[in-house]
Amino acid sequence: MKAAIAAGCVVLSVLNAPGAHARWKPKPPSTTLPAEMQGSWCRDKDKNKWATFHRNDPTGILCPDKRGWTIWSNGWRNNGGKDTCTFTEIDKLDRYVYYVRGMCKAKRNATLPMDMPNEGTWIPSGNSVYEEVGELHLVDGALVLWRLPDV
């Protein structure tokens, strides 16, 4: 009994030591996006509840209206490099369906609610930080992003 009490005191003293309260960080993603989803994409101008992307022209012509996106194995950059997201969570749901969650930084002031999905935080420095939650689907050569509410 005395040994159990002594061990408990040692554990408490270690937990209360300076520096023991490290900031919690999410675990790294357990997977990455497949090569078929990675690379340069052009966002379509559709007015749906989802965003649809097609590959850049193979001749090197850039996307019209600066609607280009670059998808990496663990994040993306869009709007001509103004928004950058790093995924904190990637879960494979099906063969070409992935749930993604990431922290994003926008190099512009967010002035409209749609500029800050999931109620991000506006920073007066000209940058905004927000969390992106969605599903990425690869369907018939097109990439589809469904933005999901943060639950």
In a domain, 80, yes or no: yes
Characterize the bridge pairing of strands 142-147 and 97-106: unpaired
Domain ranges, residue 112: 27-147
112 in a structural domain: yes
Determine the straight-line distance between the first and last CA of the chain, rounded to whole angstroms. 45
Q: Residues 64-76: what's their mean pLDDT?
A: 83
Answer whether residue 89 is part of any domain: yes
Tokens representing 99 are: 């749930």
- Please count the structural domains in the chain: 1
Looking at the domain assignment, is residue 114 inside a domain?
yes
Residues in Cβ contact with 124 at an 8 Å cutoff, skipping those fewer than 6 apart: none
Residue 21 lies in a domain: no
Radius of gyration of the chain (CA): 21
Q: Given pLDDT bands bounded at 50, 70 and 90, which one contains residue 63? A: confident
In the predicted model, is pLDDT for residue 133 greater than 60? yes
| Beta-strand relationship, 127-139 and 97-106 | antiparallel
Burial of 106 (0-12, 13-18, 19+ CB in 10 A): buried
Residue 13 placed within a domain: no
Interval 78-124: pLDDT, tens: 866 678 999 999 999 999 999 999 998 887 655 544 445 555 554 45
35 lies in some domain: yes
pLDDT for 112 equals 47
Better-scored residue on pLDDT, 28 or 100: 100
pTM of the model: 0.65
In a domain, 53, yes or no: yes
